[in-house]
Every structure is written in C-alpha cells, then in structure tokens.
Structure 1
Amino acid sequence: MATLEEQFQQACDARDLPGVVLLASDIKGNFTYEKAFGLKNPIDKIGVDATFIMASCTKLMTSISALQCVERGQIGLDDDLSTVLSEFKDIQILTGFKEGTVDPIHKKAVNKITLRQLLTHSSGLGYDTMNPLLIKWRESRGKEAGQKGDPILKRITIPLLFEPGTSWEYGYGIDWAGVLVMRLNKMSLEAYMQKYLWDPLSIRNITFHQELKLEVRKNLVKMSTRGKQGMRGLATPTEEKVEWTDELLYEDPWVDEFGGAGGIGSGVEYMKILHSICADDGKLLMSETIDEMFTPQLGDDARRALAVGSVFLDENGMFSSHEPGTERDYGLGGALILSDKRTGLRAGTLSWSGLPNLLWTIDRESGICLMYASNLVPFGDQKSHEMQQLFEREMYARSSKL
C-alpha cells in the first residue's frame, strides 16, 4: 500500500490537488511533521514556508485577542457590548419582507449582544453573502449595503437574524470582536496581534497586510479552483482537475483588518499558536481561559441550529465534515467535537476551517495539533476532504507509536 507521502505526491502530480502543506506536532516534543507537496504556482514547487490566504482561520487569532482583553478586565464575556460598539445600540432583527416587495421588515432586539455570543456565532449576526434572507436584504439596499472595497464598518453592519443568544448562525461576529479589540486598545488589529500574539511566539510571517511583510507575499501560494466551479459557494462532486486562477479571493492591499477572515500567513507559524493553546504554556492565555475555550457554550436551540446549518454537516465527503453521529457544540474560538472519531481525534477537540480548504485542530486530550493548508476553492472540496482525513488518521497512528 502506498505511503501517506506517496499518495499526496500522486494526487498533486495528477492535478487532483494543488500545493498543500501538512503540519502536526505533539505538546511533549516527541512528534513533529512538516511536509509540502505539489506546486506553489504553475512553475514553482511549494515549500513548508509557503503562506496562505487563511480566511476564517483568522477567527482563532481574533478570539484569543478578545479573550486577552477579558483577562485584563477591559471587557467581560457577558457584558453589553453596546457601551463600546455603539452600532449595537437599538440593533434590529430582520424578520422578512413585505409581501410582493423587497422592503425589509424589522423588529428591535430585546437581548443585548455579548462577547461570548460574538465568539460563538450566537449573536444573531450572519453573513450577507451566505444567508438567503440577508442576501435579499443586501440586494434590496443596493449601494447602501457594504460592497467589496468599502470600509469594514459599512460591510459588517447588518441586521440580526434572531434574538442574541437564542440560536446559531455563522457570520460577522468575530469581525466585530476584532473591532472591539481595536477600540479597547486604541490600536490596529495588526499592531495588537504583533504585540500580544505574534511577538510572544516569535511569529514573523502572519499579517493582514502583505505589503508590510514581503516574505508573506513572496511565499504566497497562488489560488486554484476545481475546474470551473468558481470562488464562492460550496464545491460540488466533480472529476475535474485543479486549475490555477488569477481571480483573487481577497483584496490586496486590505485597507481594513477583518478579524474574521483577513489573515494571510505561514502554516508553520500558525502552528505555534495551536501548540501554545494545546500545551497551555501561558504565553497567550491563562489556564482558566483556555479551559473556557474548550467548554461547550451553546444552549439547546443554538446547538440544534449548529447541527443543521454549519459547515460540519454530515455531507458525503465534504471538506471538514465528520462521520454521521458526531456530536458537536461550539467553544470560544472554534467548533467542539464531542465524540471520538475513527481517525483518532478525541472528544473535546477544538477545530475550524478556512474557505480555501484549510483546517486546524487542537486535541488537548491527545496533546496533538494538526493543520492542513491549501489555497483551493470552492470550499468543501471532496478530494481535499479525502486527503485531509487520510492525513489526520496517519498522524494519530504515527504519534501513538512514540
């Protein structure tokens, strides 16, 4: 049977995958895995120092930043955030549209939005590029709604979909958490993370601004797509090969710093963050805060909404999905997997993904961190899922032998 490395190389040679970087480590220092396969662009081989559009992998960094603010006493997890985020005062819930028109119907929210809700996607904020009701709202507002290139506040200021704390919807919550961090500390998110996340871990090649860190730009993997499926939406099953694309998933340069999706950087250096949290080394957060990150946060209604509405649906072969029956909740920074997986991943693992088919994992029970990094769209790619599961299974098998 072909080895893990042979299978990945064969997949890249056959253009079933673009360039990928696979990373794993344990907290005891007994096991480290760093391998790169395939191409960085149509000409050059990819290296482990490659950088990626991290997209929603940015959310973990912003969540840690916000939790540091809680530790300093700058804000509480359950405080009313409208004292700092004045945009939340008198915020409205979108309930529908007047019959036969595109005129939205709103009602005033009763509950107040908290940081705990922003970090767990239970605030009522969605994405107006994903939720059908918000897509219609955006279209009804025309240029009044935020468009590509607009300032961050115009783009993330949208109505709620439900009373804060009563359900679950993936959305702009952690972008707002990034705005909160900036306002509380009177500095940009780039400056904040450099001082309080990246410098403590000797991280140099993660940024919101490629133009500030030339190594990030130099090592950036070119975006690719599965055939002609396009950049957005979810991948559909296809035998088409991977193609390089000049279309950008991101803006370059970013004017603003989106805490939910704006990060660009090295998987090797991102692993330092995963390792710090997994090892509970005190460099980023206190032990009690890390314990809270890994504590289920959702109520029953929100947990049911997560089960039917998240990217962790039990779809057949969808990237980042899990086998049927996997129990899930949400922690402070990512989804919590509450039952063991056949790959070896243990209950209590915190994990999340990024749109170009990236996936990070922190398994405190086993003391293992994993990252699968690519720049392939659209999200949910089935071949990437197959290979990521192979990688995950093999890392658990190899580390258990040490």
Structure 2
Amino acid sequence: MSTLEEKFEAATAAREIPGTILLATSSDGKFQYQKAFGPATPTKPLDLKATMILASCTKLMTTIAALQCVERGQIGLDDEVSGVLHELKDPKILTGFTEGENGEPIYEAAKTAITVRHLLTHTSGLGHDAMHPIYPKWRKAMGHPPYAGDVQQSLLHNITIPLMYEPGTSWSYGVSLDWVGELAARLNNTTLENFMEKNIWTPLGIKNLTFHQDLKPDVKKNLVKMTSRNGPEGAKYGMPQREAGKVEWSDEIIYEDPTKYEAGGGGAVGSPVEYLKIMHSILANDGKLLKWETIGEMFKPQLSAGPLKAWMDYIGVPFLQGAFSIPPAGTKMQWGIGGMLWDQDAETGKKKGTLCWSGLPNLIWTIDREAGLACMYAGNVIPFGDFKSGNFQVLFEKEIYARYEKFLKEGK
C-alpha cells in the first residue's frame, strides 16, 4: 500500500493536484509534520520556503487583530461599529428594484446597528459581489464602477454596499471581515499591515506574511505560480468541475502587485509554514496573541436559529458536496469567531469543536483544541472547491490524525 507521501508525490507529478504543502503541529509542539510536494513553478520544485496567495485565510489574522482591540478595551464585541466605521452608520437594506430595465434601488432602514460580533460572524447583512447578484445590479443602477478586487481600486469602493437583511437575523459570506480590518486599523491610527506586523507577526517571529509583496522580497521571490483546473484563464470566480482535467499553469491575477490596499477579508500573501505559527499560538493558548478566555469565545457556537439555517443552506448546496472543505451533507455545523465550527465528528476526519476556514485557491486551516492538533493544507489552484484537492485534503487529515494518535500511544 502506498504511503501518504507516495500518493502526494504521484499526484503532483501527474498534475492531478498542484504543488502542495502539508503542515501539522500538536499544542505542545512535540508532534510536527512539514512536507512540500511537487512544483512551485514550471521550472522550480516546491519547498517549505514557498509563499502562496492566502486569500480568505487572511480572515483568521484579521479576527485576531480585532479581538486584540477588544482585549485592550478599545471596543466591545457587542458594541456598535459606526462610531469608528462611519460608513456603516444608519445602514440601509436593499430590498429590490423598481420595475423597468433601469430600475432604481429600493431600500428600507435597518432597525439594528451593526456590531463587532455581527462583522466577525458574517451576520452583519453584508454580502459580496461575486456571490450575490443583487450587488452588481445595484452598482449598475447607481452608476458605480463594478467591484474590482484584483485591480487598483479603492477597498472602500468594494465594501461600501447596502445590506441584504437585518443585522443578526441571517448569515452571508461577504465583505464583513474587510470592515473588521478597517476597524482595527482606524482604532489604532495605523494600517492593517503595520498593526499585524507589530501585534501578530513580530511576537511570533514571522518574517514572510504581508499584504504588500514589495515590502518583503522573500515573499515575492518564493511565490508559487497559480494553477487552474478549468483552463488557464477566467477561473478565479468560476465553479469547480467534478470531471475537470489536470491542473494547468495560469497567469490569471489573483492579487495586483503592488497593491494600494489591505483587505482584511482576503488580501494576505505569504508563507504557510509561518501561518502555522499563528494557528499554533491559538491551539496552545500561549498568551502571545490572545488571552485564553478570548480564545475560548472563538470556539463557542455563535449562530442563533435564523443565521444557522442560512449558514447550513449555504454549505448544503448539492452540487458542491465533496468539494474542497465543504462538510458532508447533513453534518451538524456552527460558526465560531474566526471560522466554521464543526458541531459533530465527521467521516472526513474533522472532530467536533474544530474551528477551520479556507482560502480561494484551495487552502484550509483547522484547529482542534480537544485533540490538541492543528493542520494546514496549502495548494494554490483555482477555482475554489476543487474536488480533487478536497479528496487529497481529507486523505492528509485522516492520516495525520492516525499518526498523531499513534504518537501519543507510544508516549513520544
């Protein structure tokens, strides 16, 4: 029977999956796994110095930044954010459009102010142009330029949008964490890059995470080339194809470089190996980033009935079953602060109480405090939801849990 390593070597060589980095650590650091497979570029093998487009894996760092502000007493989890984020004062809900080809937007005033917790749990009412067609239609009706997340456009242009529902009553993946990044920066009269450098990266000895590749030469030098399953172009916001062919090298731009802004919801690029240091700090409750009671709040279910139903509907779409990081149909799920929260053990290997989230080019981090194990699967391929990558991520995680359990039994 082939080993885990042999399977990944064969799969990356055959271009079933792109070059991939697999990482794991126990809370005490005695159990470690770090391995790179396959190519980083058409001419360069992947190694553990590689950097990748992290996309929505950025959200964990932005969440930590906001929680640090809460711990300092700068704002409370259930405080309104409009005193700092004045753009979110007196929010309006977009309920539809008047009749006709050039219909005008119809709004109603929200009755509930947006809080920090709403933003951190995606219950603010804000969505995203790439997922909710109402926004491109709204921008056209308003005469606004379209959303442009990969070009030199203002971050505030992209994220200053009306709500889709009353805050706290539903769930929608969108620009909420971009606003959280703005919140942390404004509260401290700095940039999000500088805040994370001082309060997250430097305390952990992290050198190669950033929003700006031009600030850190090793990030740019070691950046893997993007790959695509659906063809070399136009795949970033496409849908994964279950019967798609081999991965191909792609020149599609995920992030503009240099970039003018720092998107807390998905703008970071850097080293998966160093990102693991952040995960380990949370797993170990080492006090370097957050207090133990704050970390405890991250792992508590946050969604009431209405938002929970919307969240379960979001991940329960039949044609995405088996896609990368999507829970098996019927799995009980919740949402914590920082990521999705598994509410039961699952056949894919995830354990109840595990907090995790993913990034657009098919990366995923998981933190299981009960077992004392954190894992990261990092392989840059678009579009998100890659089925083949999903299969290999499950293979990796199951094997790592088995090795960790053996490690514990042997008393090493």
TM-score, length basis structure 1: 0.97
CA shift at 1:27, angstroms? 1.0
State how many pairs are aligned: 402
Kindly indicate whether residue 277 of structure 2 is the aligned counterpart of residue 282 of structure 1: no
Aligned match of 2:33: 33
CA shift at 1:311, angstroms? 8.1
Q: Which runs of 5+ in 2 are unaligned?
A: 408-412
CA shift at 1:99, angstroms? 2.1
Q: Equivalent residue of 2:40, what SS?
A: coil
Q: Residues 2-401 of structure 1 correspond to what in structure 2 (within 5 A)?
A: 2-101=2-101, 102-144=103-145, 146-147=147-148, 148-228=151-231, 230-310=235-315, 315-401=320-406
CA shift at 1:142, angstroms? 4.1
CA distance in 2, matches of 1:311, 1:388: 19
CA shift at 1:312, angstroms? 8.5
What CA deviation, in whole Å up to 9, does each residue of 1:47-75 have, x standing for no partner? 01110100000000000000000000000
CA distance in 2, matches of 1:15, 1:141: 45
Q: Equivalent residue of 1:29, what SS?
A: coil
Relative to structure 2, which stretch is displaced further, 224-233 or 166-175?
Answer: 224-233
CA shift at 1:98, angstroms? 1.2
Relative to structure 2, which stretch is displaced further, 237-246 or 140-149?
Answer: 140-149
Aligned match of 2:410: none
Alpha-carbon RMSD across the aligned residues, in angstroms, is: 1.4
Q: Equivalent residue of 1:54, what SS?
A: strand
What CA deviation, in whole Å up to 9, does each residue of 1:278-313 have, x standing for no partner? 110000000110000000111100000000114897
CA distance in 2, matches of 1:343, 1:240: 24
Letter in 2 for 1:208: F
CA contact (8 A) 1:170 1:310 kept: no
Distance 1:224 1:296, change over 3 A: same
Letter in 2 for 1:305: A
CA shift at 1:367, angstroms? 0.4
CA distance in 2, matches of 1:79, 1:157: 20
Letter in 2 for 1:400: E
CA shift at 1:120, angstroms? 0.4
Relative to structure 2, which stretch is displaced further, 335-344 or 35-44?
Answer: 335-344
CA shift at 1:238, angstroms? 2.1
Q: Equivalent residue of 1:15, what SS?
A: coil
CA shift at 1:343, angstroms? 4.2
Letter in 2 for 1:18: P
CA contact (8 A) 2:115 2:124 kept: yes
CA distance in 1, matches of 2:359, 2:98: 36
CA distance in 2, matches of 1:313, 1:269: 35
CA distance in 2, matches of 1:311, 1:257: 31
CA distance in 2, matches of 1:21, 1:144: 38
CA contact (8 A) 2:18 2:227 kept: yes
Distance 1:71 1:314, change over 3 A: farther
Distance 1:164 1:313, change over 3 A: farther
Letter in 1 for 2:122: H
Q: Equivalent residue of 2:44, what SS?
A: coil
Q: Equivalent residue of 1:351, what SS?
A: strand
Letter in 2 for 1:39: P
Relative to structure 2, which stretch is displaced further, 130-139 or 269-278?
Answer: 130-139
Letter in 1 for 2:210: T
Q: Equivalent residue of 1:40, what SS?
A: strand
CA distance in 1, matches of 2:349, 2:387: 20
Q: Equivalent residue of 2:320, what SS?
A: coil
CA contact (8 A) 1:23 1:370 kept: yes
Percent same amino acid among aligned pairs? 53
CA contact (8 A) 1:312 1:322 kept: no
Letter in 1 for 2:163: L
CA contact (8 A) 1:314 1:323 kept: no
